[in-house]
């Protein structure tokens, strides 16, 4: 079915500023479809970002939106959710924003299991500032600051989120467009911290330096290395070498932070009642 994205885009905002082939537009469309599927009200939905190309997303969409300081999306979102727990609060941003400068806020939002949905666009690089390496730049890959290849191991964002305590963690890629809205929808419906990692493409600052001739080649690589978690269960370690798992990687039910906080307030204000 033809999808009416314009319904959710601020008038006059297209074309967006992202480069030709930048995957952030594909993720933005997936997010819009997910919000539509969930039937969220525009004025009861907040989208919060930090800084970076990915973090430009809230500027285009017609909801309550906040473009905050670099790495601080989770911190602002936590405050907003605490002030208005019935509001749907969604964070969007890049790997640099989310797990480099913002890594601390990110892990503590996961630890608290606060009811946010965090869509993290992992394009393996600091796109906006000219392709410096991020904690998600693969080992041996080239960035403007790793001209001889990257000596660092990477953060696996999904594993980081699970380890830190997020109760819904899923991964997909910009190639798998329909899975983007499916997983974000599940994340929004989940009560607690939901992290959806989307492996994304930055043809300008990452692709060119790493010998990808086009964004299509980058997307084909994601297609080739993605293995659904369900299929991975039947595969050997050798078969899984170099692959990345996609789908819902982790889901559990645990007390949610705003609810726990409300209970505490109630207990302190009404010491005699149970």
Partner 1 sequence: MGTPRIEIIEKYCKGCNICVEFCPKHVLKMDGFVAKVDKPEACIQCMQCELRCPDFAIKVYPA
Ligand X SMILES: Cc1ncc(C[n+]2csc(CCOP(=O)(O)OP(=O)(O)O)c2C)c(N)n1
Q: Is 67 in the site for ligand X (CB under 6 A)?
A: no
Of 97, 115, 156, 256, the one binding ligand X by CB under 6 A? 97
Of 93, 127, 187, 247, the one binding ligand SF4 by CB under 6 A? 127
Of 3, 43, 69, 104, the one binding partner 1 by CB under 8 A? 3
Q: State the sign of the Cα–Cα–Cα–Cα dihedral 152, 224, 163, 236.
A: negative
Strand (E) or helix (H) holding 220: helix 215-225
Helices 157-164 + 103-112 axis angle, to 10 = 50
Which residue lies nearest ligand X, judged by its C-beta?
94
Q: Which of 225, 212, 248, 24 is nearest to 123 (CA)?
A: 24
Which residue lies nearest ligand SF4, judged by its C-beta?
127
Query: Which of 125/162 has CB closer to ligand SF4?
Result: 125
Q: Is 24 in the site for ligand SF4 (CB under 6 A)?
A: yes
Q: Contacts with partner 1: how many residues (CB under 8 A)?
A: 26
Q: Is 16 in the site for ligand X (CB under 6 A)?
A: no
Query: Which of 30/192 has CB closer to ligand SF4?
Result: 30
In whole angstroms, what is the distance from residue 136 CA to residue 37 CA?
31
Contacts to partner 1 from residues 168-197, by CB under 8 A: 174-175, 177-178
Q: Are 67 and 49 in contact (CB under 8 A)?
A: yes
Q: Cβ 70 to ligand X, closest distance in Å?
A: 4
- 85-118 CB burial, b ≥16 within 10 A, e <16: bebbbbbbbbbbbbbbbbbebbbebbebbbbbbb
Candidate ranges 16-24, 88-96, 155-163, 182-190; the one touching partner 1 (CB under 8 A):
16-24
Query: Which of 27/169 has CB closer to partner 1?
Result: 27
Query: Which of 8/133 has CB closer to ligand X?
Result: 133
Q: Cβ 181 to ligand SF4, closest distance in Å?
A: 17
Query: Which of 16/189 has CB closer to partner 1?
Result: 16
Q: Which of 124, 122, 125, 93 is nearest to 109 (CA)?
A: 93
Q: Is 205 in the site for ligand SF4 (CB under 6 A)?
A: yes
Query: Would you state the torsion angle of the CA atoms of residues 61, 64, 66, 67, taken in this order, to the nearest 10 degrees?
Result: 10
Tokens of 161: 């989120």
Of 1, 233, 265, 268, the one binding partner 1 by CB under 8 A? 1
Tokens of 215: 């964004």
For the purposes of burial, counting CB atoms within 10 Å of the CB of 83, is it exposed (0-12), middle (13-18) or buried (19 or more)? Answer: exposed
Strand (E) or helix (H) holding 94: strand 88-94
Binding site for ligand X (CB under 6 A): 51-54, 70, 93-97, 123, 125-129, 134, 202
Binding site for partner 1 (CB under 8 A): 1-3, 5, 9, 14-16, 18-26, 29, 174-175, 177-178, 214-216, 219
């Amino acid at each position: 079915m033809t999808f009416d994205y314009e319904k959710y885009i601020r008038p006059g905002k297209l074309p967006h500023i992202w480069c030709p082939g930048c995957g952030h537009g594909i993720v933005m469309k997936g997010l819009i479809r997910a919000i539509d599927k969930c039937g969220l009200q525009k004025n009861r939905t907040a989208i919060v970002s930090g800084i970076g190309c990915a973090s430009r997303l809230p500027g285009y969409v017609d909801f309550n939106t906040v473009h905050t300081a670099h790495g601080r999306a989770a911190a602002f979102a936590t405050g907003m959710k605490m002030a208005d727990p019935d509001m749907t609060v969604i964070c969007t941003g890049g790997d640099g924003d989310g797990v480099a400068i913002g890594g601390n806020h990110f892990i503590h939002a996961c630890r608290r299991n606060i009811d946010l949905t965090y869509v993290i666009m992992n394009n393996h690089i600091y796109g906006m500032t000219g392709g410096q390496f991020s904690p998600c730049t693969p080992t041996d890959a080239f960035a403007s600051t790793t001209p001889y290849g990257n000596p660092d191991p990477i953060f696996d964002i999904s594993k980081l989120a699970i380890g830190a305590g997020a109760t819904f963690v899923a991964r997909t890629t910009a190639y798998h467009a329909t899975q983007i809205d499916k997983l974000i929808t599940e994340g929004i419906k989940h009560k607690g911290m939901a992290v959806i990692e989307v492996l994304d493409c930055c043809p300008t600052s990452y692709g060119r330096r790493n010998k990808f001739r086009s964004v299509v080649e980058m997307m084909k690589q994601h297609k080739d290395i993605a293995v659904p978690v369900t299929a991975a269960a039947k595969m050997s370690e050798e078969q899984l070498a170099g692959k990345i798992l996609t789908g819902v990687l982790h889901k559990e039910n645990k007390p949610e932070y705003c609810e726990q906080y409300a209970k505490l307030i109630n207990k302190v204000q009404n010491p005699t009642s149970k």
